[in-house]
A and B are shown apart, each in its own frame.
Chain A
């Protein structure tokens, strides 16, 4: 179940962020930790690229247009919030498992 969540997270994160910025995880045999790490790093790189685009826009560099920048910023924000929610869910699932008594 846990590895299924991991694959789901990385696929959703890479869809939101765009295939070019996410690191593609290896196939089904990678551990959940690796998958989550790659999802986190793809969110981080999305934030960095959005920040860079904002800085280019503020400096008035050619090639930065406000529509693109707004979309990138929103994408990074959504990816971040998604990651937060998934983390919360995973933590609560872990806590549920902990409570199980045999």
Chain B
């Protein structure tokens, strides 16, 4: 059913966005920790993996180290601007996901209630 598949995709999307937010929060928390390396999850490939899963469940994404960031003398390579922008993006993504999910349920409920 068309509605069902969009719903399971939205659930995976929200779950992955939530996991990304946790990783970004961890990066921000360790902005002053010597030797800490920035982590991130590959959203696109994790999303594709969630789609391919037969039962539609979302497994936990594994974070990987981010390359190409400048390292400070104490070994820390967290870039505040990058983290702030990504966090804002993640927040909006989550909002998009919940709004779409709400709209989905709304359509379903309208059909059930018969528009009365």
Contact residues in B for A47 (Cβ distance below 8 Å): 2, 107
Among the listed B44, B51, B107, which residue makes an inter-chain contact with A77, where contact means beta carbons less than 8 Å apart? B107
Contact of A60 among B2, B43, B97 (CB under 8 A): B43
Enumerate chain B residues within 8 angstroms of A87, measured Cβ to Cβ: 115
| Chain B residue with Cβ nearest A58 | B13
Cβ A81 vs Cβ B115 within 8 A: yes
Which of B10, B110, B114 is within 8 Å of A80, CB to CB? B110
How big is chain A's contact interface, by range? 10 to 19
Contact B6 A51 (CB under 8 A): yes
Residues on B with C-beta less than 8 A from A54 are 6, 9-10, 100
Q: A55-B9, A58-B9, A58-B10 are in contact. Are A81 and B110 (CB under 8 A)?
A: yes
**Could you tell me if B43 and A77 are in contact, using CB atoms closer than 8 angstroms?**
no
Number of chain B residues whose Cβ lies closer than 8 Å to a Cβ of chain A: 23
- Interface residue B66 (Cβ < 8 Å from any Cβ of A): no
Q: Which of B93-116 contact A (CB under 8 A)?
A: 96-97, 100, 103, 106-107, 110-111, 114-116
Separation of A80 and B96 alpha carbons in the complex (Å): 21
A84 touching B114, Cβ below 8 Å: yes
Q: List the interface of chain B (C-beta within 8 A of A).
A: 2-3, 5-6, 9-10, 13, 43-44, 47-48, 51, 96-97, 100, 103, 106-107, 110-111, 114-116
